[in-house]
Every structure is written in structure tokens, then in C-alpha cells.
């Protein structure tokens, strides 16, 4: 009865350790998923963090924390004084099991990080999978397998850390009880006057303690050697896979396959703008060497498909030093996807790209050394302060700690968030987070800068100062790619710009070129009284068509009629006279307005065309 009670208590301790360690180990996925989901890890890679360094540091500190938790668990187990978990030898065996579980479990958790965007989902997945493997073993045990197949199944399950953990704890307790029973039997035979050699012969004849061994670490039987080997090997394999995934080792293969898959190639539209077509032809006609040497950044037929949907369609572009290129477009136009491909956050489906001569397919780590990146959504760690964030990225870029502190203060003063520099990122306003992200991008004075909507949320004064900073950076010989919803911003800092819609360039050129090409003439709007009927609206339309035949109705709402005149032949005085006549002679005309065509109207026009095409 005493033996049964001891076995029951030891089983409870094993279960306590098993479930406790599963819950603890699953916790390590939470921060990693959060770091990946907010894009902070990618930003660290862009800043210059090496992939092996990133993961080895994570593994080192995670394992230290895991060891600390195991020490707390050991203290609890020692206080319980349960047979099988009581002596120094028992605790030593337990620590061997806990150690190899940590060495195999942490790399597997790192490997699972890539599949989740929500930390809680990843935690539940790891927990259920670990427990599910053990339940699967229990179910399979009920099936009358042949001994050979049973061993194969056992070896396969040992590749899973949770099963190896439970198996090791069971073997530890079984070894302790088996050794204790054999030693008791040996003592009993000795008391009967039988020599030790004859004692073993007698026990062998009684089929007792046949597999007795003093080594718990032997390979096979009650030894845990098999568990150790499988856990260490699988842990190294899991960790190697993590490194290979982050090194994008399959990118060259995908780059080769993309050239062989016509269904994934870009589709050049028939109505492509002449300037866009000319830029495509210019990049295509140049040799790879000439493209790389004459441009700081160049992309050729850059294309991205998501599940068969074309998000970016065949962009070709070359940007040189002292140039700021602007990308304008509504949400979903493909601007951020383009940036993600150019920084290596997502892999392009088709096309080629180079940054300072380094290929986006094969040399992304070299590309990262040349660029600074301010993403659309703040890739910041909420638990760090703004100052700590700036210091961290400055040190990643190679600055010493004292220099990094000075840079943190300088950037916080220049971008007007010094009074918030000691606040945690989670407590910063949206505008101050954008300032911090812009500062992170500029640390290290990179030759190529990507700004994805950098001024969204900034106050007008900071926006003005930021534009001045961008102009100074551009004039110092840097290459800048900027996306924005602000047309004024693009006009003030961009040397060239393109309007994107439906994943392609709708037009391309300098601001003045686009204005002279697409913004000729003027637009006027006629406001009709709210209680006017349909015939009154028709009367207004007829009046305009009779007096201004060149005016084209571009928009029609309930109370508003918007017309566009593309030519410059009709003087504004005549247009004013005709509109004033409409207000005076047609009783349902309430008001009118006349204005020169602007870049904003060009932008809205292209956006409307893209929506209608869809």
C-alpha cells in the first residue's frame, strides 16, 4: 500500500512538471509573435542585426529564464519529498530531462512563430500540440502493434519535445523504483547467506532484475540516452530551419522559377501612359551592369501576386542620387507592398531589383546595409521608451553607447518629441510614434531612404520641419523613396513622382510635367437647390452643353454637377459670364465655383478610372 501511494505521489509530481513546463515554454512564443507582427524584427534586420546573432541571443536569454523557472519548480519538488524526486541523484536525473526538453522545445517554438499574427493564438496552438502528442501516444498504445512498429512509433514521437519530456520523467521514476527493488532483492539474498555473484545468478533465474544497470543515461531500456540524443538533434534541426527561413535561402530558387512561370508575369495594360512606358523601355533596354551602376535604386517588372490576385503589376523604375521619388495612391494601390518587396519583408513574385548594385533576390542582407526604412505602421516595441529605441538602433548601426545617447537626444530635439523621449512607446501619441519611426530610419546616415507615409499624424509645424530635413538629405546626395497621401508634401520635396492605382503606375514624371500634361484647363462646379427636380437638372446640363460644348461632365451628385474643360482656348472671363448667366436665368441654380485644374484633381481622376476599371 505504501508503494502504491508513493507511485501515485510520484505520478502527480510528473504530471505537475509536465503541464507546468508546457505552459511555461509556450509563453516564449508570445513576445516573438508580437515582435514579428508589429514588424519590429524586420526593422532590426534592416538596421543591420545579423540573423544568427538575433536568434542566438534570444535562445540564450530564453534558456536562462527557462532555467530560472526550473529552479523554482525544483524547490517545490524538494519541499514535497516524494520518492523518486527526493535524493540528489533523483533531482539530477530530473534536471537532465528538463534540460534536454528546453534545448528542443525553444527552437521548435521559434519555428512556429512564422505561422501566427496573434500571440494568444500561437500560445494555445503550442500548448494543445504538446498535449495532443501525448494523447495521441495514449490512443496508439491501445492498438495491438507489432513490436517492430511500436519501436518505430516510439522513435518518431521522441522527435516531439513534449513526448520526450513525459517519457523522460516516466523513465526517471521507473529507473528509481527498479533500482530500489533490485537493491532490496540483493540485500535479501545476502541475508540468506548467498554471495553477491550467486545472488545475481539467483535473481536472473527468478527473472528478476534481468535488465538492471547502474546507468540511467544508457541508450535504450530504462535509460534516457535515446531521449537526449533525439531531443538535441531535433533541437539543432529546428534551430537550423529557423536560420534558413530568415536567411531567405529559397529566394534564388524562387527567382529562377519566377522566370519560368508565365502566369505570374506582369500584364502590361494597353492604355499605359507614355511616360510610364518610356521608363519601362529605358530600364529594359539597359544591361544589368548599366542599370546597377547608373542608379541608386532600380526595379524592373516588379510584380507581386497574393493568392492569384495581382497586387503590384510590372513596375519599372530607376532612381538616382539627389533624387526624391514620390509614390501617390489611395489605400490598397500597392505602395506599401512595393516597399515591402524592396526591403525584403515579402518576396516578389516576378521581376528584378537592385539597391546600390545589390540584388533584391540574392543579396538582401547587403541591401539592408544601404537603406533606412520608416514603415507605414510603426514597427516599435511598446515596452521600450523612445530613448531606448533610438539608442538600440543607433548601437545596431555601429555607434557607441555614449554616441547613441547623443543621437537620441539630437533626433528627439530635431523632430520635436524631446519632452516625450522617456515615455514608453505605448504611451506615445500616433504623431510622436511617426516621429520616432522617421528618426529610426535616419540613424546611421544611410544612402537610400524609404519613407512610407512618414508624416501621417504629425502636427503642421513638424511636417514643415520634416520636409526641410528631407530636402537637405536629398540635396546631400541621398536617394529617397517616399509615399504619401499629401499632394502638397510630394510637390514640395519630390523631384519626380508617380500616381499608383490597381498596383501599377498611372503616370510618372516631375510635378510640373504632370501638371502641364494632365492638369490643363479648369473645372467648375454648379450647385443646384435641394428641392429641384430632375427636369431642372436636365435644364442646367442642356444650358452648359449649349454654351460650353468643350465642358465634360466629370461628376454628378444629387445637388452638384462638376465639369472639366481641358483646353485653354476659352478665357476665364467668358466662363464666368456664362456661369453667372446660369445663376441668373435658371432659378434652381444656387451657386457655382470655378478653379484651375490641380495635381489633386489629376490624382482623383486616375483613382476614379482605376475603380471604374475594376
Query: What is the three-state SS of 512-559?
Result: HHHHHHHCCCEEEEEEECCCCCHHHHHHHHHHHHHHCCCCEEEEECCC
pLDDT on residue 37:
86
Mean pLDDT, rounded, for 575-597 = 84
Q: pLDDT at residue 333 above 70?
A: yes
Rg of the chain taking only CA atoms, in angstroms: 35
What is the Cα–Cα distance from 353 to 316, expressed in whole angstroms?
9
Which of the given ranges, 50-64, 300-314, 504-518, has the highest pLDDT on average? 50-64
Instruction: Yes or no: say if 101 and 158 are a contact pair by the CB < 8 Å rule.
Output: no
Tell me the HSE value of 566 on the side-chain side, using a 13 A CA sphere. Answer: 7
Host domain of residue 29: 2-166+222-246
Which helix (H) or strand (E) segment holds residue 72: the answer is helix 51-80
pLDDT on residue 29:
93
Q: pLDDT at residue 179 above 70?
A: no
Q: Which of 373, 510, 508 is nearest to 448 (CA)?
A: 373
Q: pLDDT at residue 239 above 60?
A: yes
The residue that leads in pLDDT, 41 or 263, is 41
pLDDT on residue 216:
65
Q: pLDDT at residue 237 above 90?
A: yes
Q: How confident is the model at residue 416 (pLDDT cuts 50, 70, 90)?
A: confident
Q: How confident is the model at residue 201 (pLDDT cuts 50, 70, 90)?
A: low
What is the Cα–Cα distance from 161 to 237, expressed in whole angstroms?
13
Sequence-ordered list of residues with C-beta below 8 angstroms from that of 370, at least 6 positions apart, any chain: 355, 356, 358, 446, 447, 448
pLDDT on residue 234:
93
Mean pLDDT, rounded, for 234-243 = 92
The residue that leads in pLDDT, 286 or 14, is 286
pLDDT on residue 2:
43
**Is 27 inside a domain boundary?**
yes
The residue that leads in pLDDT, 384 or 588, is 384
pLDDT on residue 30:
92
- 3-class DSSP assignment, residue 152: helix
Tens digits of residue pLDDT in 469-493: 888 888 888 999 998 877 778 888 8
The residue that leads in pLDDT, 93 or 577, is 577
Q: pLDDT at residue 351 above 70?
A: yes
Tens digits of residue pLDDT in 422-467: 999 989 888 888 889 989 999 988 999 999 888 887 888 888 888 8
- 191, 213, 246 — which closes off a domain? 246
Which of the given ranges, 274-283, 499-508, 576-585, has the highest pLDDT on average? 274-283
Q: Which of 26, 168, 13, 158 is nearest to 95 (CA)?
A: 168
**Is 235 inside a domain boundary?**
yes
pLDDT on residue 256:
56
Mean pLDDT, rounded, for 377-389 = 89
Q: How confident is the model at residue 211 (pLDDT cuts 50, 70, 90)?
A: low
Largest Cα separation within the chain, whole Å, is 133
**Is 31 inside a domain boundary?**
yes
pTM, to two decimals? 0.76
Alpha carbon separation from 266 to 45, 256, 283, 477 (Å, rounded): 29, 16, 15, 32
Q: Which of 26, 51, 16, 15 is nearest to 105 (CA)?
A: 26
Q: How confident is the model at residue 391 (pLDDT cuts 50, 70, 90)?
A: very high
The residue that leads in pLDDT, 1 or 234, is 234
Mean pLDDT, rounded, for 31-40 = 89
Q: Give me the chain's average pLDDT, please.
A: 82
What is the Cα–Cα distance from 561 to 541, expressed in whole angstroms?
8
For the stretch 364-367, contacts whose Cβ atoms lie closer than 8 Å and that sit 24 or more positions apart, written own/partner, are 364/248, 364/251, 365/50, 367/343
**Is 52 inside a domain boundary?**
yes
Mean pLDDT, rounded, for 240-269 = 70
The total number of structural domains in the chain stands at 2
Q: What percent of the chain is predicted at pLDDT more than 70? A: 85
Q: pLDDT at residue 28 above 90?
A: yes
What is the Cα–Cα distance from 503 to 500, expressed in whole angstroms?
6
**Is 525 inside a domain boundary?**
yes
Instruction: Yes or no: say if 298 and 331 are a contact pair by the CB < 8 Å rule.
Output: no
CA dihedral for 435, 440, 445, 446, sign (positive or negative): negative
Which of the given ranges, 225-229, 303-307, 316-320, 609-613, has the highest pLDDT on average? 316-320
Instruction: Yes or no: say if 25 and 126 are a contact pair by the CB < 8 Å rule.
Output: yes
Instruction: Yes or no: say if 467 and 489 are a contact pair by the CB < 8 Å rule.
Output: yes
Sequence-ordered list of residues with C-beta below 8 angstroms from that of 301, at least 6 positions apart, any chain: 265, 266, 280, 284, 314, 315, 316, 350, 351, 352
Mean pLDDT, rounded, for 488-505 = 85
Q: pLDDT at residue 255 above 70?
A: no
Which of the given ranges, 77-81, 204-208, 422-426, has the highest pLDDT on average? 422-426
pLDDT on residue 1:
43
- 3-class DSSP assignment, residue 254: helix
Mean pLDDT, rounded, for 311-331 = 88
**Is 262 inside a domain boundary?**
no
Q: pLDDT at residue 3 above 50?
A: no
Q: What percent of the chain is predicted at pLDDT more than 90? A: 19
pLDDT on residue 460:
83
Mean pLDDT, rounded, for 30-52 = 89
Alpha carbon separation from 604 to 138, 463, 522, 554, 607 (Å, rounded): 64, 23, 15, 11, 5
pLDDT on residue 109:
93
**Is 229 inside a domain boundary?**
yes
pLDDT on residue 123:
92
pLDDT on residue 486:
75
Tens digits of residue pLDDT in 272-294: 888 999 999 999 998 888 988 89
- CATH at 576: 3.30.70.60
pLDDT on residue 205:
47
pLDDT on residue 186:
63
The residue that leads in pLDDT, 595 or 435, is 435
pLDDT on residue 208:
54
Mean pLDDT, rounded, for 320-339 = 86
Sequence-ordered list of residues with C-beta below 8 angstroms from that of 401, at least 6 positions apart, any chain: 391, 395
pLDDT on residue 350:
86
- 211, 246, 281 — which closes off a domain? 246
**Is 206 inside a domain boundary?**
no
- 3-class DSSP assignment, residue 304: strand
Query: Is 221 exposed, middle or buried (CB count within 10 Å of its CB: 0-12, 13-18, 19+)?
Result: middle
Q: Which of 97, 28, 90 is nearest to 61 (CA)?
A: 28
pLDDT on residue 220:
65
Amino acid at each position: 500500500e505504501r508503494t502504491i501511494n508513493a507511485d501515485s505521489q510520484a505520478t502527480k509530481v510528473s504530471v505537475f512538471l509536465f503541464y507546468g513546463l508546457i505552459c511555461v515554454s509556450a509563453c516564449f512564443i508570445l513576445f516573438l509573435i508580437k515582435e514579428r507582427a508589429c514588424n519590429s524584427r524586420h526593422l532590426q534586420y534592416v538596421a543591420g542585426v545579423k540573423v544568427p546573432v538575433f536568434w542566438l541571443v534570444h535562445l540564450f536569454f530564453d534558456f536562462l529564464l527557462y532555467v530560472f523557472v526550473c529552479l523554482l519548480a525544483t524547490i517545490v519538488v524538494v519541499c514535497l519529498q516524494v520518492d523518486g524526486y527526493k535524493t540528489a541523484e533523483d533531482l539530477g536525473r530530473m534536471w537532465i530531462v528538463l534540460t534536454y526538453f528546453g534545448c528542443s522545445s525553444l527552437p521548435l517554438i521559434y519555428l512556429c512563430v512564422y505561422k501566427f499574427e496573434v500571440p494568444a493564438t500561437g500560445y494555445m496552438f503550442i500548448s494543445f500540440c504538446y498535449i495532443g502528442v501525448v494523447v495521441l501516444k495514449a490512443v496508439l498504445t491501445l492498438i495491438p502493434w507489432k513490436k517492430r512498429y511500436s519501436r518505430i512509433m516510439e522513435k518518431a514521437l521522441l522527435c516531439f519535445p513534449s513526448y520526450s519530456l513525459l517519457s523522460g520523467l516516466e523513465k526517471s521514476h521507473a529507473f528509481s523504483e527498479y533500482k530500489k527493488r533490485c537493491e532490496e532483492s540483493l540485500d535479501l539474498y545476502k541475508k540468506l547467506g548467498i554471495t553477491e555473484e550467486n545472488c545475481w545468478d539467483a535473481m536472473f533465474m527468478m527473472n528478476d532484475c534481468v535488465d538492471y544497470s547502474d546507468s540511467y543515461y544508457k541508450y535504450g531500456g530504462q535509460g534516457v540516452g535515446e531521449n537526449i540524443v533525439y531531443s538535441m538533434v531535433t533541437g539543432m534541426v529546428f534551430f537550423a530551419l529557423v536560420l534558413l527561413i530568415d536567411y531567405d535561402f529559397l529566394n534564388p530558387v524562387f527567382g529562377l522559377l519566377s522566370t519560368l512561370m508565365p502566369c505570374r508575369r506582369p500584364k502590361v495594360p494597353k492604355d499605359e501612359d507614355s511616360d510610364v512606358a518610356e521608363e519601362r523601355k529605358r530600364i529594359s533596354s539597359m544591361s544589368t551592369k548599366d542599370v546597377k551602376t547608373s542608379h541608386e535604386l532600380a526595379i524592373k517588372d516588379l510584380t507581386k501576386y497574393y493568392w492569384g490576385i495581382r497586387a503590384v503589376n510590372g513596375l519599372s523604375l530607376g532612381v538616382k542620387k539627389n533624387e526624391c521619388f514620390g509614390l501617390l495612391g489611395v489605400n490598397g494601390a500597392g505602395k506599401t507592398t512595393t516597399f515591402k518587396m524592396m526591403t525584403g519583408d515579402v518576396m516578389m513574385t516576378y521581376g528584378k531589383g537592385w539597391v546600390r548594385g545589390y540584388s533584391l533576390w540574392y543579396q538582401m542582407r547587403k541591401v539592408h546595409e544601404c537603406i533606412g526604412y520608416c514603415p507605414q505602421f510603426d514597427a516599435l516595441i511598446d515596452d521600450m521608451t523612445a530613448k531606448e529605441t533610438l539608442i538600440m538602433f543607433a548601437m545596431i548601426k555601429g555607434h557607441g553607447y555614449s554616441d547613441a545617447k547623443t543621437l537620441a537626444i539630437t533626433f528627439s530635439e530635431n523632430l520635436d518629441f524631446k519632452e516625450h523621449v522617456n515615455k514608453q512607446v505605448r504611451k506615445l501619441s500616433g504623431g510622436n510614434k511617426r516621429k520616432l519611426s522617421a528618426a529610426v530610419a535616419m540613424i546611421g546616415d544611410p544612402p537610400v531612404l524609404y519613407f512610407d507615409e512618414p508624416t501621417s499624424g504629425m502636427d503642421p509645424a513638424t511636417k514643415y520641419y520634416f520636409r526641410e530635413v528631407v530636402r537637405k538629405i536629398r540635396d546631400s546626395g541621398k536617394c529617397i523613396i517616399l509615399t504619401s497621401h499629401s499632394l502638397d508634401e510630394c510637390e514640395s520635396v519630390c523631384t519626380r513622382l508617380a500616381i499608383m492605382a490597381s498596383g501599377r503606375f498611372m503616370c510618372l514624371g516631375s510635378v510640373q510635367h504632370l501638371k502641364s500634361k494632365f492638369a490643363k484647363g479648369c473645372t467648375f462646379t454648379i450647385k443646384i437647390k435641394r428641392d429641384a427636380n430632375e427636369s431642372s437638372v436636365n435644364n442646367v446640363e442642356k444650358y452648359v452643353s449649349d454654351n460650353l460644348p468643350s465642358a465634360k461632365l466629370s461628376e454628378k451628385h444629387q445637388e452638384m454637377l462638376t465639369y472639366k474643360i481641358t483646353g485653354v482656348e476659352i478665357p476665364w472671363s467668358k466662363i464666368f459670364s456664362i456661369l453667372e448667366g446660369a445663376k441668373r436665368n435658371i432659378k434652381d441654380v444656387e451657386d457655382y465655383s470655378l478653379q484651375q485644374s490641380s495635381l489633386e484633381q489629376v490624382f482623383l481622376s486616375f483613382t476614379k478610372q482605376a475603380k471604374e476599371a475594376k
